Amino acid sequence: MKPESTALVLIEFQNDFTTPGGTLHDAVKQVMDETGTVPHAVQAADAMREAGGAVLHVPISFAPGYGEITRNPYGILAGVVDSTSFVRGEWGAEICEDLTPKDGDITIEGKRGLDAFGSTNLDFVLRSKGIDTVVLAGFLTNCCVESTMRSAYEKGFEVITLTDAVGATSPEEHANAIAYDYPMFSKPMTTEAFVEALTAEKELADSSRGY
């Protein structure tokens, strides 16, 4: 895991999910509290920056009225519309304070669906930076994170998912995705294990350069 070719992709760490008062916060609060989703994502982001890796934020947002999607949404997008979530320009669509992008971070614009690659330039940015390993965290465990994970796997990236830096609307859905789906398309690991591996690689590289 070389920091210079690794990117942490933070999916939808936005107020509507992460923060009391957010439209979907109550739905994910239990899993967030049990896993420490946000603190672990902060830990991973800090470690990536320290190691010299890339931190990418991928929020989702829609214009008022949700004109970018079908007039008759169903499934997860129907829930977004019905709850009036992630409206561009409103507080709920803003990235949460704990994960406010820092100098050097990259924010990917244009996410309108589940897969972070689908309607964005994420693939272009990753490849232009020479990234071959993507590390995923965010919401929902079994939805946008999993959709992005599958696409990254298909595109030939090495994929790592941080099992305690993702959140879902129920413990059952969260656990099921991690137990049965994540190992098929990624290398699941805890944030602690990821940070240890990243730190060890940086120390090895530093020692080889005589630092």
Considering only CA atoms, which of 83, 81, 65, 61 is closest in space to residue 73?
A: 81
Q: How much is the pLDDT for 207?
A: 61
CB 58 within 8 A of CB 111: yes
Q: What is the mean pLDDT of each run of 10 residues along the chain (211 residues)?
A: 94 98 98 98 97 97 95 94 97 98 97 96 98 98 98 98 98 98 98 94 66 59
Instruction: Give the per-residue pLDDT at 199.
Output: 86
Please indicate, yes or no, whether the overall pTM of this predicted structure exceeds 0.85: yes
- Residue 206: what pLDDT? 66
Give residues with Cβ within 8 angstroms of 19, minimum separation 6: 25, 96, 97
Map out the domains of the chain as residue ranges.
3-208
Q: CATH classification of 3-208 is 3.40.50.12780, yes or no?
A: no
